[in-house]
């Protein structure tokens, strides 16, 4: 076990790579959502319901039953 | 600790193998047969290596990179499941022998997915129940409930879904609500898969993999992210360990 030294934010001692990954996971969808909010024709809704409608009326091979 | 160190990468690899159905010839618009064959082979090798626990960091990193390659290539419409493979693959790749960091990164991925799923549903169409009503027309398994799902019940289901996803993003972090949230999230996922499936490759490509990856990632919430408090002579550490805070 190499992690788990106490200290830092909330008692966690995190390496920079972990902090960068956490920040990116939050900021990237936030930017996508923000762009979409400002202009509904651009950007995309992260983890939205839209994916379920992709095959509606589509004859794409991935939609084959 | 072994759950995040050994079991979790195997589960991730298992879903990599399930998702390989999407890589069958012709399902996506590949630039050439060679590109498809090389990609499919690399994906399978990385997934099998994860399942077997061989060279886990390299295999997980490869799965993450392959997810990004597929997103930038013929799999652009598969952004949500590929996004999860990307973040979870990276989480495993950079946390070899660091199970607490791995648990933290996986927790953040789950919270981000549920949190933004909730935020994305805050739009007039979803809140009015239009998407639920449309689904009841599109999916044959919902036809028996069509009249119900085109009433105010659709609005109620839309709100409950949105609030539940927002609640899951938070409730999994806290000990008093963790188990109930995990059970509720699992039941909700099974409901999603049943309601949204259309017996196509798309089911595996999106909702089965997406919800499945989130459910197996609940494991991270049952593993510690902070070091065990040092035992104090007066027993205060033991009291601390039982408090209802994220940990």
Q: Give B198-207 pLDDT, tens digit per residue.
A: 888 888 888 8
Residue-number span of the structural domain to which B215 is assigned: 2-226
Size of interface A-B (CB pairs under 8 A): 120
Query: Nearest-CA neighbor of B94 among A23, A28, A18, A27?
Result: A18
| ipTM, two decimals | 0.85
pTM of the model: 0.89
Residue B233 has pLDDT above 60, yes or no: no
* B141-151: pLDDT as tens digits: 999 999 999 89
Please tell me which residue of chain B has the smallest CA distance to A64. B200
Q: Is residue B238 part of a domain?
A: no
Please count the structural domains in chain B.
Answer: 1
Q: Do B120 and A48 touch (CB under 8 A)?
A: yes
Burial letters B66-96, b for 16+ CB under 10 A, else e: bbbbbbeebbebbbbbbbbbbbbbbbbbbbb
Q: What residue segments make up the domains of chain A, in order of their start?
A: 1-41
**With contacts defined as CB-CB under 8 Å, which chain B residues touch A17?**
94
Task: Among B192, B202, B224, pick the best mutation site for testing chain A contact (most A Cβ within 10 A).
Answer: B202
Q: Is residue B244 part of a domain?
A: no
Distance of CA A14 to the CA centre of its chain: 21
Residue B1 has pLDDT above 80, yes or no: no
Integer CA distances (angstroms), B210 to B34, B79, B230, in order? 28, 10, 39
Integer CA distances (angstroms), B120 to B41, B83, B113, B115, B240, in order? 35, 16, 10, 9, 37
pLDDT band at B224; cut points 50, 70, 90: very high
Q: Is residue B239 part of a domain?
A: no
Q: Is residue B247 part of a domain?
A: no
Number of alpha carbons in the 13 Å side-chain half-sphere of residue A18:
22
Per DSSP, B98 falls in state -
Q: Is residue B90 part of a domain?
A: yes
Q: Do A51 and B77 touch (CB under 8 A)?
A: yes
Compare CB distances from B121 to A2, A29, A49 and report the shortest one's residue.
A49
Ordered DSSP codes for B11-49: HHHHHHHHHGGGGSTTSS--S-HHHHHHHHHHHHHHHHH
Q: Is residue B97 part of a domain?
A: yes
State whether residue A35 sits within 8 Å of chain B by CB.
Answer: no
Q: Do A54 and B206 touch (CB under 8 A)?
A: yes
Q: Is residue B235 part of a domain?
A: no
**With contacts defined as CB-CB under 8 Å, which chain A residues touch B114?**
47
State whether residue A20 sits within 8 Å of chain B by CB.
Answer: no
Q: Is residue B246 part of a domain?
A: no
């Amino acid at each position: 076990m190499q992690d788990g030294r106490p200290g830092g934010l909330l008692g966690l001692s995190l390496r920079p790579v972990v902090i960068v990954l956490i920040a990116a996971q939050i900021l990237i969808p936030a930017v996508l959502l923000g762009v979409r909010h400002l202009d509904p024709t651009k950007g995309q809704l992260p983890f939205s319901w839209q994916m379920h409608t992709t095959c509606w009326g589509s004859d794409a091979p991935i939609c084959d039953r | 600790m072994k759950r995040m160190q050994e079991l979790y990468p195997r589960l991730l690899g298992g879903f990599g193998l399930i998702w390989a159905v999407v890589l069958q010839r012709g399902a996506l618009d590949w630039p050439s047969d060679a590109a498809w064959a090389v990609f499919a082979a690399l994906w399978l090798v990385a997934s099998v290596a994860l399942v077997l626990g061989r060279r886990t960091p390299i295999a997980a990193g490869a799965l993450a990179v392959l997810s990004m390659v597929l997103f930038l290539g013929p799999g652009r419409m598969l952004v949500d499941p590929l996004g999860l493979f990307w973040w979870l693959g990276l989480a495993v790749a950079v946390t070899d022998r660091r199970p607490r960091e791995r648990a933290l990164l996986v927790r953040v991925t789950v919270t981000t997915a549920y949190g933004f799923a909730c935020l994305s549903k805050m739009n007039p169409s979803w809140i009015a129940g239009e998407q639920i009503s449309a689904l009841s027309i599109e999916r044959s398994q919902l036809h028996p409930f069509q009249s119900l799902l085109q009433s105010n019940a659709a609005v109620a289901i839309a709100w409950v879904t949105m609030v539940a996803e927002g609640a899951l993003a938070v409730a999994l972090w806290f000990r008093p609500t963790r188990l109930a949230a995990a059970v509720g999230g699992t039941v909700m996922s099974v409901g999603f898969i049943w309601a949204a499936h259309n017996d196509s490759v798309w089911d595996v490509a999106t909702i089965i993999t997406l919800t499945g990856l989130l459910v197996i990632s609940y494991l991270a919430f049952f593993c510690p992210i902070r070091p065990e408090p040092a035992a104090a002579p007066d027993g205060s550490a033991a009291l601390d360990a039982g408090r209802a805070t994220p940990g």
